[in-house]
Amino acid sequence: MWAARGIRRTLDEETIPRLAVITALAYAIGMVMLPLPGGTSGHLLGIGILSMLFGVRLAFLAYSLVLLLQVMLLGAGGITALPVNALAVGLVGASAMALCVRWRSTRYPLPAIAVGAFLAVVLPALLIALVLGVQPTIAQQDDGSPLFFSFRPEIVVPAIMLPHLLIGIAEAVLTLAVWRYAGDRGWLH
For 24-46, write each residue's pLDDT tens digit: 999 999 888 888 766 667 899 99
SS3 for 124-144 is HHHHHHHHHHHHHHHCECCCC
Q: Residue 92 above 70 pLDDT? A: yes
Evaluate whether 63 touches 86 at the Cβ level (below 8 Å): yes
For 64-77, write each residue's pLDDT tens digit: 999 999 999 988 87
Check residue 6 and give its pLDDT.
64
How many C-beta neighbours within 10 Å does residue 144 have? 7
Indicate the average pLDDT of the chain: 88
Instruction: Tell me the pTM.
Output: 0.87
Nearest to 38 by CA among 113, 117, 109, 133: 133
CATH topology of domain 7-184: Arp2/3 complex 21 kDa subunit ARPC3 (1.10.1760)
Out of 102-106, 121-125, 160-164, pick the least confident: 102-106
Check residue 146 and give its pLDDT.
79
Domain locations in the chain as residue ranges: 7-184
DSSP H helices in the chain: 7-10, 15-30, 47-74, 82-85, 94-102, 110-138, 153-184
Q: Residue 5 above 70 pLDDT? A: no
Confidence of residue 189 (pLDDT cuts 50, 70, 90): low
Q: Residue 178 above 70 pLDDT? A: yes
Interval 97-124 mean pLDDT: 92
Check residue 68 and give its pLDDT.
96
